[in-house]
Amino acid sequence: MSGEVSEDFTYYFANSEQVPSAVGAGVLVDTDHSILAAGGFIIQMMPGADDETTTALEQRLSTIAPISTMVREGKTPEEILEALIGDELQILDSIPVQFKCHCSRERVEIAISSLGDEEIQRMIDEDKGAEAKCHFCNEAYNFNEHDLKELQSNPS
């Protein structure tokens, strides 16, 4: 929509997922263009949340320091949450974050199979193989002619 990450996410949540959300994202860039601090948050309203809550939250968000500043100051996620939500904050659960992708060779095989025998034959004849790269984690999966033949339902 706007190219501004926070605004685009807010628009997406409101229009595609129909969930009123407040999104903040920011990066502090040093004079040598290196990243000093970067961070973000997404706050989503629970079903049935009243307008009063929304208004109070909006007011609060308009007064807090930019998220990148809070990260730069070394604030923990819990401290940032408290700044965003206030004293009523209750932490119900914490989940460690990790970089993980659910892609696998098996999933890529299923995707290639779904292209159909003719298309797979074309990859065998013209390209002598195929490489599929995951759009999320960039993992490359390579298939030689033999691998591709195995993925055809009626190998010719």
SS3 62: helix
With CB under 5 A as the contact rule, the residue among 128, 136, 150, 155 that binds Zn ion is 136
With CB under 5 A as the contact rule, the residue among 38, 43, 115, 134 that binds Zn ion is 134
Assess 137 for contact with Zn ion (CB under 5 A): yes
User: Please, which residue, 22 or 112, has the CB nearer to Zn ion?
Assistant: 112
Q: Is 116 left (phi over 0), alpha (psi -120 to 50) or beta?
A: left
Least distance from Zn ion to the Cβ atom of residue 112, Å? 15
With CB under 5 A as the contact rule, the residue among 5, 42, 103, 123 that binds Zn ion is 103
Quick one: which of 116, 102, 114, 109 has its CA closest to 143?
109
User: Please, which residue, 56 or 132, has the CB nearer to Zn ion?
Assistant: 132
User: Please, which residue, 85 or 103, has the CB nearer to Zn ion?
Assistant: 103
The residue count of the chain comes to 156
Assess 85 for contact with Zn ion (CB under 5 A): no
- The Cα–Cα gap between 150 and 72 comes to 53
User: Please, which residue, 53 or 114, has the CB nearer to Zn ion?
Assistant: 114
Least distance from Zn ion to the Cβ atom of residue 106, Å? 12
Q: Is 81 exposed, middle or buried (0-12, 13-18, 19+ CB in 10 A)?
A: middle
**Count of residues touching Zn ion (by CB under 5 A):** 6
Tokens representing residue 14 in the block? 């409101």
Assess 28 for contact with Zn ion (CB under 5 A): no
Cα-Cα-Cα-Cα dihedral of 93, 99, 132, 129, to 10°? -120
Which residues of this chain interact with Zn ion, rule CB under 5 A? 101, 103, 134, 136-137, 139
